[in-house]
Each structure stands twice: as C-alpha cells, then as structure tokens.
C-alpha cells in the first residue's frame, strides 16, 4: 500500500524538478546579454568602489595636513601680532621693522603654500564626488538589470568590499 503512493509522489517531485530546471535553462538563455552586462558593470563598480576608498584615504590625509598647517599659521599670526606691542604711533623701530617684514613675508608664503594644499584637497574631494556618483549609477543599473532577470536581491559590493577585492585595504580579522 505504501508503494502505491510513492510512485505518484516521486512523479510529482520529478515534475517539479523538471519545471525548475527548464525555468533556469530558459533564464540562462534569455538573459545571457544582461548577465554579460551585469558582469562588466560589476567590474566597473568594483573599480569605482576602490577609488572611493582611495580618494577618501587621500582626503583624510590631506585634511590632517591642512589642520596642522592651520595650527602653524595661527602660531605665526600670533607672533606677528606681538609686533603691535612694539609699535609707537603706528610705526615700528627701524631694526624691528625689517624683522617684521621678513616674518610677514614668511607668513604670506606659508599662507600661499597652505592655499595650494587646500586647492589640491578640493580637487580630491571633487574627484571623490564624481567617483561616488559613478558608483551609485552603476549600483542602481546593476540592481535594475538583476531585477529584470528575476534576481532582485543581487548582491552589489559596498565600496569597502570593493576596496578589499582590489587590494586597496586589507580585510579586518575577527
């Protein structure tokens, strides 16, 4: 009696497996161009994610350098203000005036050098924003294609995962 029910259950199981396999084969053939496109876009996305991390690291280093420059400039500015204590009727004694002019020139040169570093930092930030926009566009495009292919939960790597994949950063060990 048990044998009698096993055959129809086995038949039903084989039928379900056959339907699933034919559906998978259909999707495999039907979405071949989309899969190739997702593969290409994923490689571009990983490159963009790694660049996000690289530019962020560079930006952080430059920001720390600018903070140190600002601290040094504040110290130099305080030293320049001390010359006001030596001024009499708005004029400095001749020997002191020459030192003041030299210190002022050094300070102005330092400000110019700091502003060049600021400009370079702003370029890095602008590049970072462009790469983030590219990453987001690729991410959205991949998810849209994956959804069309019937895989709405396609895993898109984060910038940190992309940086690990490209060797920009090392994975943290638990």
Residue 85 lies in a domain: no
Angle separating helix axes 32-81 and 2-30, nearest 10 degrees = 60
Residue 29 lies in a domain: no
| Residue 109, pLDDT score | 97
Range of the domain at 148: 43-74+110-165
| Residue 158, pLDDT score | 95
163: tokens are 């940086």
50 CB-contact burial (10 Å; exposed 0-12 / middle 13-18 / buried 19+): buried
Residue 68 lies in a domain: yes
Cα separation of 23 and 149, whole Å? 12
| Residue 6, pLDDT score | 61
Residue 96 lies in a domain: no
Output the CA–CA distances (angstroms, integers) from residue 76 to 82, 96, 106, 112, 158, in the order listed. 10, 16, 9, 14, 44
| Residue 1, pLDDT score | 45
| Residue 20, pLDDT score | 86
Q: From the first residue on, what is the mean pLDDT of each consecutive set of 10 residues in the chain (174 residues)? A: 62 83 77 89 97 97 97 96 86 88 96 97 97 97 91 91 93 79
Cα separation of 105 and 114, whole Å? 14
156: tokens are 């898109």
Place of tokens 């060990």: 173
Name the domain count of the chain.
1
Cα separation of 34 and 146, whole Å? 8
Write the DSSP string, 115-142: HHHHHHHHHHHHHHHHHHHHHHHHHHHH
């Amino acid at each position: 009696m048990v044998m009698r029910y096993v055959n129809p259950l086995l038949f039903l199981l084989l039928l379900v497996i056959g339907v699933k396999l034919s559906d998978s084969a259909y999707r495999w053939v039907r979405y071949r161009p989309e899969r190739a496109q997702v593969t290409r876009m994923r490689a571009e996305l990983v490159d963009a994610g790694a660049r996000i991390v690289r530019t962020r690291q560079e930006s952080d280093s430059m920001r720390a350098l600018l903070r140190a420059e600002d601290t040094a400039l504040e110290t130099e500015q305080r030293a320049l203000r001390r010359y006001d204590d030596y001024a009499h009727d708005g004029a400095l004694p001749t020997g002191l005036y020459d030192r003041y002019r030299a210190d002022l020139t050094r300070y102005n040169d330092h400000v110019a050098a700091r502003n060049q570093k600021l400009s370079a930092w702003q370029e890095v930030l602008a590049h970072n924003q462009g790469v983030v926009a590219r990453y987001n566009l690729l991410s959205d495009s991949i998810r849209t294609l994956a959804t069309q292919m019937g895989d709405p939960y396609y895993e898109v790597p984060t910038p940190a995962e992309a940086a690990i994949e490209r060797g920009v950063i090392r994975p943290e060990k638990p």
